[in-house]
Amino acid sequence: MKIKQIPEDFIVNEIIKLKTSDSGDYTYFWLTKKNWTTLRAIVEIASRAHVSFKRFKFAGTKDKFAVTKQTVSAFKIPPEDFENLKIKDIEIEIIGFGKEAISLGTLTGNNFEITIRDLKKSDFEILKKNAANIRKKGCLNYFGQQRFGGGNTALIGKEIIKIRRISRS
């Protein structure tokens, strides 16, 4: 079983509760990125917009080796400052304005689209047996550097699936 062979194999879309309005000190935007850490992407955006990185807030970091979409707030930076920014593998889509910075409490969760390659029959059977439960309850995010600091976390995920299967038998 192989996970995360290319960035498009791991797609993350943030679920966020956000109160937008026609005005406010914060400009909210969707940040879609590929092969960028969240911090590095925002540092690059700040640099190209000629503003301080400290004016940007977000609800959580997202994987680098993935295609991710998350919300960012920018303090007293008008949307026009983002219009002409051309950064490879980064897209900015203005959502609106608000009175509060985005923070960890703003994040409700994440939707994941994970492509698994080179499944063996035994891997497929384990996934098939757990699929209904995962669809119903979801799955904790045990993958990525923010969880284990690097290495092959796909092996950890595979073992978790096996443990869940054994514990239900």
List residues with catalytic annotation. 63
DSSP 77-114: --THHHHT--BTTEEEEEEEEESS---GGGEEEEEEEE
Query: In whole angstroms, what is the distance from residue 113 CA to residue 140 CA?
Result: 14
Beta-bridged to residue 70, according to DSSP, are 31
- Give the count of alpha carbons within 13 A of 5, CB side only: 6
Which positions ≥6 away from 109 have C-beta within 8 Å? 15, 138
Query: In whole angstroms, what is the distance from residue 32 CA to residue 62 CA?
Result: 10
Query: In whole angstroms, what is the distance from residue 96 CA to residue 42 CA?
Result: 18
Main-chain dihedrals φ then ψ at residue 136, nearest 5 degrees:
-75, -50
